[in-house]
Structure 1
Amino acid sequence: MSTKTKGSVSEFVLRTPAVGPAIALVAAVVVFSLTTNTFLNSDNLSLIVQQSLVVGTLALGQTLVILTGGIDLANAATAVLGTLLMAKLVVGGVSGTVALVTGIAVAVAIGALIGGIVTGASLPPFIVTLGMLTIVTAVSRIYAEGRSYPVTDDTLAFLGTRQYLFGHVEVTVGMGLALLMFVGIWYALTKTAWGRHVYAVGNDPEAARLSGINVRRTVLSVYVVAGLVYGIAAWQALGRVPNADPNAFQMGNLDSITAVVLGGTSLFGGRGSVIGTLVGALIVAVLRSGLTQAGIDSLYQDVATGVLVIVAVAVDRFSRRKQR
């Protein structure tokens, strides 16, 4: 391969954030399929996708926020509060549909509140969402009254409904919904004016403002949409494990950031894609599954994931310098 061709390939990889993660995902699958006996088993592959659903959905909302140059540390706490609201309302006699809508509406309201504070008071998203993480976590534990709530309502557990493709490949309704969400937000980001505004704000808020974009309204809309996604993540969680626990997903915010970063989205804003985030979420799930089957302790799995995150951020910084 000529030097010119090599340069073209490397430039393409740097310009297309999802390419690198996709290569890493394929490499991980190949390695674990060769080093373990059950990794490519259809049941295991289905389980990997199911395990990535909640974090992947949280990461979808996180991607929108990070694209604007922000970050959301309260996303998992918001989803946990949503699960508790849905489950406890049903225990109290409310219909599953009303409970579901209420839980999602509260998640949207939290997103709107965070977005309103960030845009209205011009406070850093890190500080606002850190404070909201503490508040929402405390509210969840107070509301839960020190207990968890099993879910028996069919509406709340609907996303866990299982079907079999080709007679033996297990899929759930939640997988289908997650795919639709990723496709929908991909379309919104790449094919609509709103998506162009999100990227523009992340690249340079002042330049976006001077070009006529309402920066505050764009950022606020991102947090509202992210809140909606977190509410659906709560529904995904109840479909995956039909039990609302105030102590669930304590590392969900960091796991979602990990998936976003591994998917090639820049923490500095303005660069990335939801397709990359989907790949990033799968990388995390594949890594944990493969290392578990290889007999690697979970603590070393965390070390490996942390190293990958640092490498991903370093690659992003390098690619930004190359593009200047």
Structure 2
Amino acid sequence: MTTLKDKLPPVSQLGPFIALAIACTIFGLTTDNFFSGANFALILQQVMVVGVIAIGQTLIILTAGIDLSCGMVMALGSIVMTKVAEDFGIPAPLAILLGIAVTAGFGLVNGLLVTRIKLPPFIVTLGTFNIAFAITQLYSGAQTVTSVPDAMLWLGNTFRIGDTPIAYGTVLMVLLYLGVWFWLRDTPSGRHVYAVGNNPEATRLVGIPTDRVLLGVYVLAGAFYGVASLLAVARTGVGDPNAGQTENLDAITAVVLGGTSLFGGRGVILGTLAGAIVVGVLRNGLTLMGVSSVYQVLITGILVIIAVTVDQLSRKGAR
């Protein structure tokens, strides 16, 4: 007999949405301006870059990998697209595609090293983190690119729903999440990502090319980092060579808080969006309360440890 408990999603899937509701309730009761359309729009605008990076990070973690290079690859993409437009007068659409091609290329390198040479993703992406950082600094001369074409800034513009300004970049982030959610849930190639993360050897034995799936995931993740590059440029109005140094940890935090297992094979992409928003809500709410940023980082770290602990305990309970 099917019970109500059997019909409910696992706690790991509901957890991020429950945490988001609790955080919003607490800050709504303790601050004056938290429950306003403008404040929620600001939170979404603040998390849109990390949110899109976290899409790629989720795909990689679903395959039981991890990508430490994502933030610096994003920064390199933003420098490439802004600097080639400034130095060579390349039209903005082509410059954007070049930036995304560079970030996807880094994904390809990561994927080849993981699938062909069988290096651990942690080591590979730690290495490409440093390579991307060095190339970014050398190519930019450690200088911020300020002459940015207007077309690269469009996603930072806003439109109004009532009195609430909504950034076009926020809409793009939500659409990307919905698209990836549909792909992972309703297409064979999306389900292969879960299969590789659950049991790569069994997946290979049923005829699914696991290396090809992994390679495709890393390249696709790199392309998402390129989109995040464009969002970063649109939000700040510059190409910043010093960006991306903490976004890798922020993205992993969003994925873990969103209920995706670090051991691969389990997770819902919309949970990652909720995880990113939870981090944004915490930082926004604590700022409104006048809490130091040091304590914001402390609380975020505690939440990550709790989320990983819950994941580990749930895995043991399922055995």
CA positional deviation for 1:17: 2.9
- Structure 1 residue corresponding to 2:248, chosen from 234, 244, 253: 253
Distance 2:21 2:120 in 1: 37
| Counterpart for residue 137 of structure 2 | 141
CA contact (8 A) 1:162 1:171 kept: yes
| Counterpart for residue 265 of structure 1 | 260
How many residues align? The count is 317
1:162 aligns with 2:162: no
CA positional deviation for 1:196: 1.2
CA contact (8 A) 1:262 1:312 kept: yes
Distance 1:16 1:218 in 2: 28
CA positional deviation for 1:180: 1.2
CA positional deviation for 1:112: 0.8
Unmatched 5+ stretches in structure 2: none
**Per-residue Cα deviation, 1:186-238 (whole angstroms, up to 9, x for no partner):** 11111011111110110111111112111100000000110110000001111
1:42 aligns with 2:40: no
| Counterpart for residue 239 of structure 1 | 234
Distance 1:127 1:317 in 2: 23
| Counterpart for residue 115 of structure 1 | 111
TM-score by length of 2: 0.97
| Counterpart for residue 96 of structure 2 | 100
List aligned pairs for 1:1-324, cutoff 5 A.
8=5, 12=8, 15=10, 17-92=12-87, 93-166=89-162, 168-324=163-319
SS of the counterpart of 1:290? Answer: helix
Unmatched 5+ stretches in structure 1: none
TM-score by length of 1: 0.95
SS of the counterpart of 1:155? Answer: helix
Distance 1:41 1:151 in 2: 34
CA contact (8 A) 1:68 1:201 kept: yes
Distance 1:162 1:279 in 2: 22
Distance 2:238 2:70 in 1: 19
Distance 1:79 1:295 in 2: 31
CA positional deviation for 1:18: 2.5
CA positional deviation for 1:161: 1.7
AA of the residue aligned to 2:43: I
CA contact (8 A) 1:67 1:269 kept: yes
4+ residue segments displaced more than 3 Å: none
CA positional deviation for 1:323: 1.7
CA positional deviation for 1:41: 2.1
CA contact (8 A) 2:86 2:148 kept: no
**Per-residue Cα deviation, 1:34-76 (whole angstroms, up to 9, x for no partner):** 0001111222111100001000001010000000000000111
Distance 1:78 1:25 in 2: 29
SS of the counterpart of 2:152? Answer: coil
CA positional deviation for 1:176: 1.4
CA positional deviation for 1:5: 6.9
CA contact (8 A) 1:118 1:128 kept: yes
AA of the residue aligned to 1:254: L
Distance 1:111 1:226 in 2: 7
CA contact (8 A) 2:64 2:262 kept: yes
Q: How much is the aligned-residue C-alpha RMSD, in angstroms? A: 1.4
